Amino acid sequence: MPNAYCLLLPSSVPRTILHVDMDAFYASVEQRDNPALRGKPVIVGGGWGGEHSRGVVMAASYEARKFGVKSAMPEMQARRLCPQGVFVRGRMDVYSAVSHQLREILTTFTPDIQAISIDEAFLDATGVMHAHASGLALGGAIKLAVRRDLQLNCTVGVSDNKFLAKLASDLYKPDGLGELREADAPARLAPMPVTVLMGVGPKAAASLARRDLRTVADLRAWLDARDDAQVIREMGEHALAWRRQCLGQDDRPVRERDEAKSIGKERTFGEDVAAPEVLRATVLGQVEETTRRLRAAGLKCRGLTLKLRTPDFRTYSRSAMLENPTDETTRVWQAAEPLLATWLSQHPGPLRLIGVALHDLTSTGQLELFGADPKPGRVDAAADAIAAKFGKGSIRRAGAIERDRNRRP
């Protein structure tokens, strides 16, 4: 797919994967927006109706969790456990707006994000680690940005894979930051209950307990004493996956951004290119093409990411968020150009590939209350019409023509 926008790194490059999880998300948003709720056992749900209500707990603040209140618990039970609880009606529109803001914050760190719920995401930071002292330093920077911009706390787990990153954020909750690397995983997992493994729910745990397998170490010893055929015979095929998990191994990728949600264009050079004017012209041409596709689809973008691959196959990305959604070539270029200029000033060496992706797409421009002069839009519309009629090469910005000139021998 032309939109495909993923890290293609040799498998030998160690990954840095982060799991970001907001703390008691709905309840924390309520406490943030209503200071009277701070420090109180806040229980968020829908349609609290008092004594005979059949409401269900959507989220509980840490103060309420101390009483045993959990999400998905019936309201009646929560009221019994925590009579002094403050029952608040959930405001999903607010939570989803905050979730969107969270995503924007995370996008400034890396474009490789997989949202797994309204308040949780995996980040593949492998391609941006040159900019951070360590995975923990990056996690700390994310926590600071979230607190600064949202006035909310999150927990960040850092690892080489998704399984351990999520486990780390569970371990260090709330308001935590912790690392659980694959190298340390066998020893650290050993004393933990088997339920830390993926796919070991209460039912599987009960069946393992009947064989006296309660910790990861128990299960690992049991698996080590058997070959695959025996494991399948005695426990089923799903048990084979636990072999690797007991060692903390997991090579699932952080799924790239939904393709429908980004429009991208990239180019691998026949020969690595260092000339800034060629790189600049290439990116300008890509901005022209992607914004044209944006307009053709009736979309606007708020985010853009520049993707750069060096001759040693390391892939980097640089992202920017625009103040307002746009579909204008000039405005996207105004954001892309400084990203490229900064990159070139720091990394003057040649590039193997360069690309642009537009994301955070919306189908309306209604947020653009203080829109720019309408003239640029008219210029783009005219350029699109000419391109549609006479072909893409018929109208180009002067800078983009430079690229073609340099491409010829």
In the complex, the residues that contact Mg ion under the rule CB under 5 A are: 21-22, 25, 119
Beta strand segments in 23-60, E: 42-45, 57-60
Reply yes or no on whether 120 is catalytic: yes
CB of 235 to Mg ion, least distance (A): 32
For Mg ion, the closer of residues 30 and 119 by Cβ is 119
Cβ-based burial of 44 (10 A; exposed 0-12, middle 13-18, buried ≥19): buried
For Mg ion, the closer of residues 63 and 328 by Cβ is 63
Q: Which of 140, 176, 189, 184 is nearest to 159 (CA)?
A: 184
CB of 73 to Mg ion, least distance (A): 16
CB of 119 to Mg ion, least distance (A): 4
For Mg ion, the closer of residues 142 and 306 by Cβ is 142
Helix, strand, coil percentages for the chain (3-state, nearest 5): 45, 20, 35
Q: Which helix (H) or strand (E) holds 40?
A: none
Tell how strand 177-179 and strand 154-159 pair up. parallel
**143 Cβ contact partners less than 8 Å away, ≥ 6 residues apart:** 153, 154, 156, 175, 177
For Mg ion, the closer of residues 58 and 294 by Cβ is 58
For Mg ion, the closer of residues 97 and 341 by Cβ is 97
CB of 19 to Mg ion, least distance (A): 10
**403 Cβ contact partners less than 8 Å away, ≥ 6 residues apart:** 278, 281, 282, 284, 285
Q: Which two tokens stand for residue 171?
A: 């371990």
Q: Which two tokens stand for residue 42?
A: 């806040």
CB of 172 to Mg ion, least distance (A): 13
CB of 25 to Mg ion, least distance (A): 5
Q: Which two tokens stand for residue 257?
A: 């951004």
Q: Which amino acid type is present at position 322?
A: L
Q: Is 51 helix (H, G, I), strand (E, B) or coil?
A: coil
> Is the N-terminal amide bond of 174 cis, ω within 30° of 0?
yes
Q: Of 30, 120, 179, 266, which one is the catalytic site residue?
A: 120
Determine the Cα–Cα distance for residues 197 and 206; give it in Å rounded to an integer. 14
Active site residues: 120
